[in-house]
Every structure is written in C-alpha cells, then in structure tokens.
Amino acid sequence: MRILITGGTGFIGRALCRTLLAAGHELTVLSRKPESVPRLCGAEVTAIGNLGSLLPQDPYDAMINLAGEPIVGQRWTEQRKKALLQSRLGVTEQLIGFIAKAEQKPAVLLSGSAVGYYGDQGDQILDENSGYVDDFGHQLCAAWERAAYKASEYGVRVCLLRSGLVIGPGGGFLQRMLLPFKLGLGGTLGSGQQWLSWIHLHDHIAMQTALLSSPDLDGVFNCTAPNPVTNREFTECLARLLKRPAFLSVPGWLLKVTMGEMSELLLGGQRVLPRRFQAQGFQFQFATVAEALTNVLAARQKQR
C-alpha cells in the first residue's frame, strides 16, 4: 500500500515506519523537519513539510494520523490548551481537506486518540462503549476524534485509536522514569491507587497493521493491554526489575501545586480494556506489565 503518515518521526511513528517498510509498503511522512525523516524513519521514506504540497491526483491507499504536541510538559494554561488542541485539529482538518479533493480516496484512515477520552473514572472498568467524564483530557480527545471521523463522509473507513501509555525502548513515558528509579528515587504518585492503562510498542504497532488490513473493522478501538495496573503496582514492578528501592511517594497536593490542572494526568487514570481487539482474537505478545518492562529493559541493555 501507499501510506501517508503524520507524526511519523515520533516515538510510535518511527517504529511504525520501520515495520511498514519491512512489509513492503511505500511511505510518505509529514514532518515539520522533513530533512530528519530519512534518518528517523528510513532512507526509503518520502518526506513532505506540509500537506499543501500534495496534489489531488496523488494516490494514497491509507492514511495514519498520529501528529500532536505531547500533552505532558508545560502547565495547562489556556494558551497551552489551545496549542494542544490546534496541534491535533490543524493537521487532521488539513488531512480531511485533502481527502475531499483527492481523485482517489484512501480506503482507511487510522487516527490517534487516547484513553484520556474517558476521563478519570476511578476503579470502573471501561471499554469502547463506556461513557466519559467531561474533563480537559476528554474534550481534547473528543474534538480530535470528531475531526477525524469526517473522513467517513467521503467513503473512508475510519478507525480511532484510543491509546494507553506506550511502553517501548527508545522513548515514551518510561524513558523519563528510568533515571530516578535507577537512583532509588522512584515512588508512587498520590495514593498510588489510580489506574494506568498501558500497551507495549510492539503490540500497538501490531494493532495498527491489523486495522489497515481489516476492511470490515471501523470505529473506536482501545489500544491497551488486557491487564491495566495501578500506579503502585507499576512502581513496584519497575523497581523490582531494576533491583532498586521505591519507597518514596509524591503527595497529590504537591503535584497539584506544582503542575496545576495537568496533575490530573498523574493523579487520575483509566481502567481500560481492549474489548474490540479481544473479540477479534488479537494475540498480545506482552499481556502483562512485567513482560513488557522486562522486554524493554533487556532491549536497552543490548543497545549499550
């Protein structure tokens, strides 16, 4: 297939490009730094700096939309919230604009989202049919999904990927955690009882490739492992594998003071199950967090 990818130079996108290239697909990647695409994604990948350079006669069989500013980082001021929203909507709306004009419509659009769509619902088990709590995380994901779903008006099959936290070598949220944990400074956040829905990078990419080749599947898919864990369980597992203590705990009030509304990402959580993938018989290579972390830590060791 000829595939257009936005966000292809990110943590997930780089690994996805390598997998798709190995399978023989032809890739075009949108990047704000197109000169970096061959190094990060593969020498065979075509790089473009803006979607406006595409022509209506350019044929694409599939599109994968992963572009968006990282939600963790700066405090969620009103200006920052607008920037997070625009980084997702801007590219997505441009994609829909191209699809509208394209002489050959893509068969499928895979578009990113996150389990933050559901908001913080405590211990409640959530699947693709669950409701939501109307916080900023939900508002951001819902707007992104609505924008992407407009592609269906042009006969495009749309799959919305509500991803959990992605665990893999070479990046992601685990990368930021390893140093303090190795120094024995790791610990729980707040009560430690908030749920963390996660997915190994390998399984996340396998989910995407499965959706690309399944013309009968569309709509919302939770891209998570079947065994979510609490913050405390994750902390204890990582500390045990690193053979380090993890006795510290960051009080919730301190996170709220230092991070403001963004502390919701750390103090809240979602207990999400990938019901639709399970119904399709998807085989997880890494079904437990211990398996996933063991794999990533071993991969990092080999890279040294």
CA distance 303 to 301: 5
- Residue 216, CA distances (Å) to 9, 107, 113, 283 in order: 29, 11, 21, 19
Interval 156-174 mean pLDDT: 92
pLDDT band at 254 (very low <50, low <70, confident <90, very high): confident
Helical ranges in 246-288 per DSSP H: 252-259, 264-267, 275-279
What is the structure's pLDDT at 87?
87
Interval 141-149 mean pLDDT: 96
CA distance 212 to 210: 5
Q: How far is Cα of residue 232 from the mean position of the Cα atoms in its chain?
A: 22
pLDDT band at 4 (very low <50, low <70, confident <90, very high): very high
User: Please, which residues have CB within 8 angstroms of residue 49's CB and are 6 or more apart in sequence?
Assistant: 30, 31, 32, 34
Query: Which residue type is seen at 141?
Result: C
- Name which of 87, 84, 136 is nearest 265 in CA terms: 136
pLDDT at 267 over 90: no
Interval 247-273 mean pLDDT: 82
pLDDT at 74 over 80: no
Identify the residue whose tokens are 């996340």: 204
Q: What is the CATH number of domain 2-303?
A: 3.40.50.720
What is the structure's pLDDT at 71?
81
27-56 pLDDT, tens digit each: 999 998 899 999 999 999 999 998 888 999
pLDDT band at 96 (very low <50, low <70, confident <90, very high): very high
Identify the residue whose tokens are 């993938």: 277
pLDDT at 303 over 70: no
What is the structure's pLDDT at 304?
61
- Residue 13, CA distances (Å) to 3, 28, 145 in order: 13, 12, 19
CA distance 233 to 26: 41
- Name which of 83, 66, 63 is nearest 75 in CA terms: 83
CA dihedral 50, 90, 19, 9 (to 10 degrees): 60
CA distance 143 to 156: 19
Q: What percent of the chain has pLDDT over 90?
A: 72
